[in-house]
Structure 1
Amino acid sequence: MGNKKIEIPYAFALCGDTECACAGTCLRHIAYLQQVETAKVMTMVNPRFCAKDNTCAFYRDATPVVYARGFTQMQKRMLPEQYDKFLWKLIAHFGRNPYFERRNGKRLLPPGEQELIAEVARQVGMTEEFKFDTYEYRYNWKD
């Protein structure tokens, strides 16, 4: 990550505990180090409730995670009946507009949602590996 400025979500709780054994890999601490230089007001985790090791409930791994965008190409690989079942199962889960935002790539798909979508494809009889339209690495701020 180095000196590259990261975009920190509004009200993301930061951690300023420099004595924590996990500070170097914790997204809350790394974000704190960036914010402490310029921010006039910060949202902080209460240090009294932090563990100073990997058992800390507030620890967020700073390793970027693979997010996906869109799955418009998968419809071509499904039979019409499969796609119909796939579509309605996911609309029942996400809602109509949020389903189409995900399908069309307007909403990032965290790993859990990627697995759910792939699992629904398997449930309707799709045997090939589910591929999303694009993939990108992002920090996992909340998922």
Structure 2
Amino acid sequence: MPKLRKSTTLKAAAVALGVAGIVGLTISSAASLNLGGGSVGAGTSVVAACQPAGTPITVGFTTAYSATAPAGYTVTAVKLGAIDAACAGKSINVTLQGASSASLVEVTGTAAAGTVTLAVPGATTVTATSVVGTAVVIYN
């Protein structure tokens, strides 16, 4: 009987090692998955006399997943960063552009030094994949 117990133990160890190897390969494959960098929006146009030429305003987006049609990620807010203090208190218009520079939505607000987040109106659905550019204007 001792030989049977040893054989069963070896088989169990071999199965456990095989499972551990498969799990290890799965984890290492997921860890090496490269999705690439990028953001929603392909271009940015900034026109603001108050912003120094060497300090571009950054544009970012807040997104949320929606399971209702059209399913996918939608843009819920536009985040502008690196806004110069000279622009504080001025009006901001941001237009999210689709194909052929078509306006998808315009959001407005007031500039502040640093970062400003402008919410996309709740009744407006802008799919993240439809945004190909942005236009930003800061004015008096």
TM norm structure 1? 0.22
Q: Which has the larger radius of gyration?
A: 2
Q: Which has the higher strand share?
A: 2
Which structure's residues are more often helix, by fraction? Answer: 1
TM norm structure 2? 0.23
